[in-house]
Amino acid sequence: MQFPALTAAPPWPESEKLAREKSVLGFFVSGHPLLRYEQEIKEFATVRLGDISGFRNNSTVRACGIVTSVKKKIDKRNNTMAFIGLEDFTGKGECIVFSDPYAKYQPMLQPDAMVMVIGKGEANGDMLKIIVNEVHPMDKVREKFTKGIILSIDLDDIKENTIVRLRQVMEEHRGNCPCYFSVKNAHSTTMFQTRRFSVDASGMFVEEVRQMLGPHSIRFTSQ
């Protein structure tokens, strides 16, 4: 039996491939859309939706995830509020967005949007509910919350020309974030702050540093 020839087509972008997996199967197979923000979630989120052991009710939380559902409701003032399903790598939670914040953040609260929400958290069994006060798109979280950048340098591996190029990159990406160096050798690790350079936590700067020093060579701090 002969099958008809298939038309050659370019590969789908990662985002489209994941969206089609979720549409057909109901879950992601080859990856997760949040992976591109894995480091931001690690540094800036204060709670994981699927692990709320030790969580204190009514504490302020920052949670990152992908919007899975939006259920609108008219409140007693005849304004629109919403119940938002949010999912991260570990599990699911529910966000309650009253009318005032919903009117402000509605454009960001759409299915498949990736956001950080900030608000009061309450554990309801194994489910975390968050009364939302703020919403930030994930692609703005690093810029919003980064207070410092730590670069890891291994003296046993790094070459002199890499140090020269790193200085050039820091000069090209000057900004407002203090920059620290975690310098290690076979015996110890020492932290230094450069007072000469403050840098911009842009995606271009981060990518150039990772290419020079390795994929785990840069961290963000919120303090």
Region of residue 76 (left: phi > 0; alpha: psi -120 to 50; beta: else):
alpha
Radius of gyration of the chain (CA): 22
User: Distance of alpha carbon 121 from its chain centroid, rounded?
Assistant: 19
Residue 92: exposure state from Cβ atoms within 10 A (0-12, 13-18, ≥19): middle
Least reliable range by pLDDT among 19-23, 56-60, 121-125, 135-139: 19-23
Q: What's at 152, amino acid-wise?
A: S
pLDDT on residue 92: 94
pLDDT on residue 14: 47
CATH architecture of 33-138: Beta Barrel (2.40)
Q: What's the chain's average pLDDT?
A: 87
The SS3 assignment for 112 reads coil
Strand 218-221: give its sheet, edge to edge.
189-199, 174-184, 148-154, 218-221
Query: H or E stretch including 166?
Result: helix 160-172
Sign for the CA dihedral angle at 10, 13, 14, 17 comes to negative
pLDDT on residue 11: 63
pLDDT on residue 195: 86
* pLDDT for residue 51 is more than 90: no
Taking the whole predicted model, whether its pTM rises above 0.85 is answered as no
Residue 203 pLDDT level (bands cut at 50, 70, 90): confident
Using alpha carbons, select from 35, 4, 3 the residue that is nearest to residue 17.
35
135-168 confidence digits (pLDDT tens): 999 999 998 999 999 999 998 888 889 999 999 9
pLDDT on residue 118: 97
Instruction: Supply 134's token pair.
Output: 């703020």
pLDDT on residue 3: 62
Distance CA(182)–CA(185), nearest Å, equals 10
Which residue shows structure tokens 């730590």? 150
Query: Which residues of the chain are in CATH 2.40.50.140 domains?
Result: 33-138
pLDDT on residue 100: 96
* pLDDT for residue 112 is more than 60: yes
15-47 confidence digits (pLDDT tens): 554 455 455 444 454 466 899 899 899 999 999
Distance CA(194)–CA(174), nearest Å, equals 12
The SS3 assignment for 193 reads strand
* pLDDT for residue 190 is more than 60: yes
Averaged pLDDT, 95-112: 96
Task: Quickly list DSSP for 59-109.
Answer: -EEEEEEEEEEEEEEE-TTS-EEEEEEEE-SS-EEEEEE-HHHHHHHGGG-
